[in-house]
Amino acid sequence: MLRRVVTVILVLACAGGVIAYQATRRGKAPANPRVFVPSPTFFLDFSPSFRTSIADAYYLYMIQYYGEHVSGDGRLDSLPAMTRLVTTLSPHFTRAYLFSAFGLIDAGRPDVAYEILQKGFKANPGEWRFPAYLAFFIYTFGEKGPVKNELAADWYQKAAAIPGSPSYLPRLAARLLVKTGEREKAILMWGQAYLAGDKYARKKSVNGIRSVLPEGREASLKVLAPLSDTMPEADFKALLADLFPEGKL
Amino acid sequence: MPDPKETRIVLDLADVHKTVHVGFRRRPLEILRGVDLSVEESEVFGLLGPNGAGKTTTIKVALGLMRATSGSVELGVDGLGKVGYLPENPYFYDYLSGREFLGFCARLFELAPEILSQRIDELLRDVGLQGAASTHLRKYSKGMLQRIGIAQALVNDPELLLLDEPMTGLDPIGRVEVKRIIERLHERGKTVLFNSHILSDVHELCSHIAIICEGRVVWRGEVAEALDEARTLEDFFVRVVTA
Amino acid sequence: MRQLAAIAANTFKETIRDRVLAVIVVFALVMIAGGLWLGAISLGEQGRMMKDFGLVAVTGFGLIVAVFIAASLVHKEVDKRTVFVLFSKPVSRAAFITGKFLGLCGTMAVVLAGMGLFLFALVWLLQGSPSFMVLAAVLMIYVQLLAIIAVTIFFSTLGSAILASVLGICVFVAGQLSHNVLALTRLGSNTVTEALSWVIYVLIPNLTAVDVKAGVVGEQTLAWGQISLWVVYLLAYVVVVLALATVIFRRKEF
């Protein structure tokens, strides 16, 4: 009887110790931010049946790795390798590219972020987010100067041209085109925004066009003429009516 | 009972040798060294011998479970479709019930579906397992397994029945029931050949015996002949085997 | 044919009633459901994670069930001497091997259907819409496992059950690398290597040709016409392997 009691107490004490240790021990990030990431070539030679599963596993690992280090030591040394691995094994995994891009900016590697987004766009030409994010990153993190505006505008235009893209993208492209001095292209973008947008977007587009029009109705109409080729006649007339309500110009 | 003048040989082994290869080096081991054995229709035939003499091997060669290295084996019945066999220490399928197992055996003989169910009920009754028909075989006792083994050997109403140690594991009541089954089969003109170490059963049931020793039949004849030469069948057996 | 059906039905009953199988299947369902947890840490890719890891779990557990049961099918009969009961009756070795195979196919169909429908339901729950591609993927996994079952039964006629299990798993892995072996046949540097590679390429079943897991998550455009032909190839492969197993089993004595 005594032996049984002692055994039960011992087992309970061990169980209590195990639970208490696990409950009070803090999980911390591995000390080394550099972890081994296999080359994509190794897995590409491996079975095509399991590539996406391996990509998914590394994607989850990448998220955990990012979370552990971004608020810890701030070092994300292995993030580029993980990103390349996941996107090589699963080229249509859009979220992996997009998450990685932001993570790579945090890691101080905008060059790899651009590389990844361009790789993603090449593999997924119908996904507007790749060129849109590229434009955003170039504009936000690129070196100040006319080149970044030009590049960003170029990517916004590409994004705006993809069916299903949001209606605000042409307006963003237009603003940047104005900064680079390409007024005609800017007007075309605003025209696209006018067509696709709601009442608010139309108002914004009209204000945008009006801000770059020259003085005088005739001169303005001359500048607006190319727009008539890109819009249905009824919409063009509506735009003109919004631009030149009675009493203005 | 068939006319004695017209008895035929239902099992005939002539100078059967069987060599197996054992061990890593595949050393030849001769188990049967010229077995001559013939069993006539409607005999109850006892196959006796010490352990390792070749009794089970003889039966396996007769059934084609093993191929004779030389010699001839002839079944005088219409192929294995008319043979029933009970192996020694039978083991069957864990997750089948008694009824399902007999149904499976019956289908292997391609018995007509309309008589299948009736036949199974009869067999279960004959071996006293009606109450355990729906129980899985893994829950059967050794004696019950022996009985279901006998039932499966009878499912095709065989003309020749080969039983390897049929009394093993049976309590006295079970042994009496099996003996009665053998007697009934004999009355119906069936041929039964069985191995047994229980010589009192052999004495009671068999008309003929053969004694195998070291892969050869050393004596064959009627039980009455054997008892002319010794007081009991055990004495006769020991004398022949040790000679 | 009736004998074949009887042996197949018997094998199905024996295997499907095995408690170990039930435990494995329950464990598999728990692992599939574990995809829900993985989805929770995937930043919005729950559907993809569930499909991908769910199908890997179905493949893995399906393989375990297929290989370990197939390896023991013949051996169990010999070890437990139920072969004496079978072959003392007018049953051909071909009917035995084929019946065993068909019985296990039935069991695998039930097991994979259970896992597949469970995964299908979970994906529907997560995504809000049914994904019939998941069921198609499970069907293709089933076809792959048919080939592995046949190969494992073949190995079990040659050696022990453990060896047959190990070799069955090896063939599954090799079947995933079939395209690499094909690449070796086109090296052009050494005739002997090329010839040997061709032999190995023909002997190993090409399992990736019928795998559609990548297509389920949108990473592969599926050519169903081609895949159908590969399915027919695998079924023909099964027939050849079972025939070889029968030839070897005919020579066995008990």
pLDDT average, residue stretch B59-69: 91
pLDDT at position B6 over 70: no
pLDDT of residue A25: 78
pLDDT at position B197 over 60: yes
Pick the residue from chain B with its C-alpha nearest to C10: B104
Alpha-carbon separation of residue C181 from A205, C79, C214 (angstroms):
60, 37, 21
* Average confidence score pLDDT of chain B: 88
pLDDT average, residue stretch B177-202: 88
CB B42 within 8 A of CB B1: yes
C-chain residues within 8 Å CB-CB of A98?
Answer: none
Residue type, A138: I
CB A118 within 8 A of CB A105: no
pLDDT of residue C136: 94
pLDDT average, residue stretch B62-71: 91
Tokens (6 digits) for A140: 């936000």
How many whole angstroms separate alpha carbon C151 and alpha carbon B107?
28
C77 touches chain A (CB under 8 A): no
C-chain residues within 8 Å CB-CB of B60?
Answer: 84, 254
Tokens (6 digits) for C19: 């408690």
User: Which residue, A87, A88, A90, A116, is CA-closest to A102?
Assistant: A116
In the complex, which subunits touch A with 3 or more CB pairs below 8 angstroms? C
Which of A47, A53, A95 comes nearest C43 by C-beta? A95
pLDDT average, residue stretch B7-18: 89
Residue C116: band (very low, low, confident or very high) from pLDDT cuts 50, 70, 90: very high
CB A65 within 8 A of CB A32: no
Q: Which long-range contacts (CB under 8 A, 24 or more apart) does B166-175 make?
A: B166/B86, B166/B194, B166/B196, B167/B196, B167/B198, B167/B201, B168/B88, B168/B89, B168/B142, B169/B89, B169/B142, B169/B143, B169/B145, B170/B143, B170/B146, B171/B143, B174/B143, B174/B146, B174/B147, B175/B201
The residue that leads in pLDDT, C2 or A87, is A87
Instruction: Choose the mutation target among C4, C85, C86 for the interface with B, i.e. most B CBs under 10 Å.
Output: C85
First to last CA, chain A: 105
What percentage of chain C exceeds 70 in pLDDT? 99
pLDDT at position B27 over 60: yes
CB B241 within 8 A of CB B218: yes
How many whole angstroms separate alpha carbon C127 and alpha carbon C119?
12
pLDDT at position B122 over 70: yes
| DSSP structure string for A148-213 | HHHHHHHHHHHHHTSTT--TTHHHHHHHHHHHTT-HHHHHHHHHHHHHHS-HHHHHHHHHHHHHHP
Helix (H) or strand (E) holding B212: strand B208-213
How many whole angstroms separate alpha carbon C188 and alpha carbon A182?
57
Tokens (6 digits) for B236: 């006769």
* Average confidence score pLDDT of chain A: 87
Contacts of B61 (CB under 8 A, 6+ apart): B13, B16, B18, B32, B35, B67, B68, B73
How many whole angstroms separate alpha carbon C249 and alpha carbon B51?
29
pLDDT average, residue stretch B99-103: 92
Which of C43, C44, C53 comes nearest A53 by C-beta? C53
pLDDT at position C230 over 90: yes
User: Which residue, A103, A178, A177, is CA-closest to A133?
Assistant: A103
Contacts of A38 (CB under 8 A, 6+ apart): A85
C31 touches chain A (CB under 8 A): no
Pick the residue from chain C with its C-alpha nearest to B66: C253
What per-residue string of b and e applies to A79-96 under the rule 16 or more CB within 10 Å gives b? bbbbbbbbbbbbbbbbeb
| Range in B189-203, C22-36, C187-201 the model is least confident about | C187-201
pLDDT of residue A249: 44
| Range in A100-104, A154-158, A242-246, C57-61 the model is least confident about | A242-246
C-chain residues within 8 Å CB-CB of A47?
Answer: 176-177, 208, 211
Tokens (6 digits) for A92: 């249509």
A50 touches chain C (CB under 8 A): yes
Cross-chain residue pair A52–C219, CB shorter than 8 Å: yes
Domains of chain B by residue range = 1-77+159-168+189-243
Domains of chain C by residue range = 2-250
B-chain residues within 8 Å CB-CB of C85?
Answer: 85, 87, 90, 92, 105, 149, 152
C-chain residues within 8 Å CB-CB of A59?
Answer: 42, 45
Pick the residue from chain C with its C-alpha nearest to B20: C253
| Per-residue model confidence as pLDDT tens digits over B126-184 | 888 889 999 999 899 888 888 899 899 999 989 999 999 888 878 888 888 888 888 88
Cross-chain residue pair C41–A63, CB shorter than 8 Å: yes
pLDDT average, residue stretch C144-163: 94
How many whole angstroms separate alpha carbon C180 and alpha carbon B175?
65
| Per-residue model confidence as pLDDT tens digits over B209-237 | 999 999 999 999 998 888 888 888 888 88
DSSP classification of residue B88 = S
How many whole angstroms separate alpha carbon C151 and alpha carbon C238?
8
pLDDT of residue B5: 52
The alpha carbon of residue C91 is apart from the nearest alpha carbon of chain B, in Å, by 7
Q: Please, do chains A and C touch (3+ CB pairs < 8 Å)?
A: yes
Tokens (6 digits) for C90: 């007018």
* Average confidence score pLDDT of chain C: 91
- Phi then psi dihedrals of residue C20, to 5 deg: -60, -40
A122 touches chain C (CB under 8 A): no
Contacts of B31 (CB under 8 A, 6+ apart): B18, B19, B20, B54, B57, B215
Which of A48, A90, A99 comes nearest C43 by C-beta? A99
| Range in B14-18, B34-38, B76-80, B147-151 the model is least confident about | B76-80
- Phi then psi dihedrals of residue C197, to 5 deg: -65, -40
What percentage of chain A exceeds 70 in pLDDT? 96
How many whole angstroms separate alpha carbon A157 and alpha carbon A49?
38
pLDDT of residue A198: 82
What percentage of chain B exceeds 70 in pLDDT? 98
| Range in A16-30, B6-20, C41-55, C232-246 the model is least confident about | A16-30
B-chain residues within 8 Å CB-CB of C5?
Answer: 107
Pick the residue from chain A with its C-alpha nearest to C207: A49
Contacts of A61 (CB under 8 A, 6+ apart): A82
Sheet holding B83-86, edge to edge: B83-86, B160-164, B191-195, B44-48, B208-213, B216-222
Look-up of token digits 């071909």: C94
Number of A–C residue contacts, CB under 8 Å: 60
How many whole angstroms separate alpha carbon B78 and alpha carbon C33?
58
- Compute how many other C-beta atoms are within 10 angstroms of the C-beta atom of residue C38: 18
pLDDT at position A187 over 70: yes
pLDDT average, residue stretch C126-141: 93
Q: Write out residues 85-114 of B within 8 Å (CB-CB) of C.
A: 85, 87, 89-96, 100, 104-105, 107-110
pLDDT of residue C54: 94
How many whole angstroms separate alpha carbon B202 and alpha carbon B167?
11
| Per-residue model confidence as pLDDT tens digits over C45-89 | 889 999 999 999 999 999 999 999 999 988 888 888 888 888 999
pLDDT average, residue stretch C193-212: 89
How many whole angstroms separate alpha carbon B180 and alpha carbon C214?
68
| Range in A212-216, B132-136, C19-23, C110-114 the model is least confident about | A212-216
Pick the residue from chain A with its C-alpha nearest to C175: A47
What per-residue string of b and e applies to B86-97 under the rule 16 or more CB within 10 Å gives b? bbbebbbbebbb
Instruction: Choose the mutation target among B19, B32, B92, B104 for the interface with C, i.e. most C CBs under 10 Å.
Output: B104
pLDDT of residue C245: 95
pLDDT at position A213 over 90: no
CATH class of B1-77+159-168+189-243: alpha beta
Helices and strands of chain A, counted as H and E runs = 13, 0
How many whole angstroms separate alpha carbon B144 and alpha carbon A144?
93
User: Which residue, C89, C2, C87, is CA-closest to B158?
Assistant: C89
Cross-chain residue pair C42–A64, CB shorter than 8 Å: no
Number of B–C residue contacts, CB under 8 Å: 74
Domains of chain A by residue range = 34-124
Phi-psi bin for A126: left (phi > 0), alpha (psi -120 to 50), beta? alpha
* Proportion of chain C in helix, strand, coil states, percent, rounded to 5: 80, 0, 20
C-chain residues within 8 Å CB-CB of B66?
Answer: 253-254
Look-up of token digits 């309309």: B114
Phi-psi bin for B194: left (phi > 0), alpha (psi -120 to 50), beta? beta
